[in-house]
Amino acid sequence: MKDFHDLIVNRRSIRRYTPEEISPEDVKTILEAALMAPTSKSSRAWHFVVVEDSKQLELLSKCKVSGAGPVAGCALAIVVAVDAKITEPWIEDASIAATYIQLQAEDLGLGSCWIQVKGRFTETDLESEVYVQNLLEMPDSIIPVCIITLGHKAEERKPQAVDKLQWEKVHIGTWTER
């Protein structure tokens, strides 16, 4: 990518991946980005569970009723979780780390997709967080927020349409309608 603006214009959610593995160097770079994500009061309450096993990915894709299908077809998934006892803005901290993962993946030419876990349910009405905790043998105190799927892109998406940005949602100084 030329620059950050180009990166965010071109980063799109990718839900289909090739079977090609992600290099260990790229995985390390992605995890470094996650570990450098800012947190409230430098709490660093986030945790990352890297899943590469295809059977485990298939089971992980069952974490909610719909929308988790890309997990079964990705090369690698990172469960972004957090210890909620360490910091109050834990959802925000996990979200920033997840975004760093996605931006770093795009910069490496890889695709990614955010799969929401927090607040979702399985087909048997089990909380998705509990399902993921049980599947990955996570402590109850560590709450999964999302799963980021990663892989080599098997689909191309058009860049963001910068000319269609909703500038009417930007308010300067006070809330004024445009």
Radius of gyration of the chain (CA): 17
Report which DSSP code applies to 79.
Answer: E
* Furthest C-alpha separation in the chain: 52
pLDDT for 53-107, tens place per residue?
999 999 999 999 999 999 999 999 999 999 999 988 999 999 999 999 999 999 9
Q: Is 115 left (phi over 0), alpha (psi -120 to 50) or beta?
A: beta
When pLDDT is averaged across residues 159-169 and rounded to a whole number, the result is: 94
pLDDT band at 176 (very low <50, low <70, confident <90, very high): confident
Please provide the average confidence, as pLDDT, over all residues in the chain.
Answer: 95
Cβ proximity of 33 and 100 under 8 Å = yes
Q: Are strands 46-51 and 76-83 parallel, antiparallel or unpaired?
A: antiparallel
The residues spanned by each domain of the chain are 4-169
Point out which residues pair with 150 in neighbouring strands: 76, 112
pTM score over 0.85: yes
Q: Which sign, positive or negative, has the C-alpha torsion 36, 39, 44, 48?
A: negative
Please, what CATH class does the domain formed by 4-169 belong to? alpha beta
